[in-house]
Amino acid sequence: MALDIAITGAGIISALGLGLEKTRQNLLAGNCAINSPKHLETAHSDLPCGEVDLSDVQLYEMCGKDSSLPLSRSSLLGILAARQAEEDAALEKGTRVALISGTTVGGMDITERHFLDYFKGNEFDSLIPLHLDGSATDPIADSLKSNVVFTDVISTACSAAANAIAFGAELLLEGKFDVVIAGGTECLTRYHLNGFNSLMILDNEPCRPFDASRKGLNLGEGAGFIVLERKSHALGRRARVRAWLSGWGNSCDAFHQTASSPDGEGAYLAMSKALRMASLRPEDIDYVNAHGTGTQNNDLSEGVALTRIFGKKMPYVSSTKSFTGHATSAAAALEAVISLICIENSFVPANLRFMEKDPGLDFCPVASNIENVKLNHVLSNSFGFGGNDSSLIFSSPEL
């Protein structure tokens, strides 16, 4: 197993709160953060979401930004998480870094607030560029103390942040950079919520992934970033290594625009590639942080793929979307940071509200927290629309 990519910093903001410690506390306490939307202006108050309980005004203040500047909520959430990661890694001011972010919503919230201005004949042209995904990433880069010399945006729906992390690792392996800050950010918007509602895959109660009675997902929002370094660079500056990124894999089975394949082929290929890169056997995986959205289609497809990989030797499995909701493009970033928290604190978080085994699945997820368990390798799955499926493997720093 080649442990060439060190993870030396992490930052997170989600419905569970701001920062690693708050997230750890709420996971261990089993505190679900899925509630009726409070800050999103929507007619669908009956659709619970994993919303960050901070207004845009509060986010501007926390970021130290002038509220007269048109910044998307995605940017504001991303700034907070990326700054945490940078500080957690103890990067010196001016450190040369690349920033890779996954997002799909981008600046949609700004578009929603101002698109009627176009029909009223008011100034709108200057706001059009803020709709683009790249516009949500540039303010994050500009808000860091590091010298961000390269940025890129990955927009592959629910696998976006996982692909951003994998791309960042590839940049390190190719010797392009010594340090990469990678992850993703996504905010809730009416377009976002209405679009998923039109697909009829939202649950009007807090979701229950893998449960036989599951009815759909809950959308969420947030941002997560991790600092990736070449091993030689991290050790050279005597950085604390939180974990190793030991493997990653991506596939695209293109089975359907939104649905996962019945045989889980894309998920199977992504997990297989990640295991092969890490030179690990399936039985080496201690915990799977599943994509586990709570929809009939995803959970059955992912479950079939997990059985194809692990057979009857299934590791612990849970979906932390039961805590945070599904933050779409940022989901993999939140779950990457959560995986690091689990490795460091030796626990497996519950798959909340799991009550009844699905007869179509060969396993049951973890129904309650499992503590004091050694996690050497955690597999984190993130599967996107169009069958763009990605898996990441995080390994203990003690290895």
| In the predicted structure, residue 213 carries a pLDDT above the cut 90 | yes
Q: Is 291 an annotated catalytic residue?
A: yes
- The residue ranges of every structural domain in the chain are 5-236, 245-395
Q: Is 377 an annotated catalytic residue?
A: no
The CATH architecture assigned to 245-395 reads 3-Layer(aba) Sandwich (3.40)
Q: Please report which confidence band the pLDDT of residue 264 belongs to, taking 50, 70 and 90 as the band edges.
A: confident
Tokens of 53: 């309980």
pTM recorded for the entire structure: 0.96
Nearest Cα neighbor of 222 from 82, 376, 31 is 82
In tens, the pLDDT along 339-398 reads 999 999 999 999 999 999 999 999 999 999 999 999 999 999 999 877 799 999 999 999
In the chain, at which residue ranges do the beta strands (DSSP E only) sit?
Answer: 5-14, 17-18, 96-102, 147-154, 179-186, 222-230, 243-252, 287-289, 316-318, 347-348, 370-371, 377-383, 388-395
Taken as a whole, the chain contains a residue count of 399
From 32, 49, 158, 187, the catalytic residue: 158
Same-fold call for 5-236 versus 245-395? yes
Q: What average pLDDT does this structure show over 250-263?
A: 79
Q: Is 326 an annotated catalytic residue?
A: yes
From 131, 291, 342, 377, the catalytic residue: 291
How high is the pLDDT of residue 117? 72
From the candidate CATH numbers 3.40.50.150, 3.60.10.10, 3.50.50.60, 3.40.47.10, the one assigned to the domain spanning 5-236: 3.40.47.10
In tens, the pLDDT along 125-143 reads 666 677 777 789 999 999 9
**Residue predicted with more confidence, 70 or 291:** 291
Tokens of 203: 């649950």
DSSP code at position 92: P
From 39, 326, 342, 377, the catalytic residue: 326
CB atoms inside a 10 Å sphere around CB 178:
19
Nearest Cα neighbor of 384 from 256, 278, 281, 273 is 256
Please state which of the ranges 40-44, 191-195, 233-237, 252-256 shows the lowest mean pLDDT: 252-256
How high is the pLDDT of residue 258? 64
Please state which of the ranges 117-121, 169-173, 222-226, 307-311 shows the lowest mean pLDDT: 117-121
How high is the pLDDT of residue 122? 66
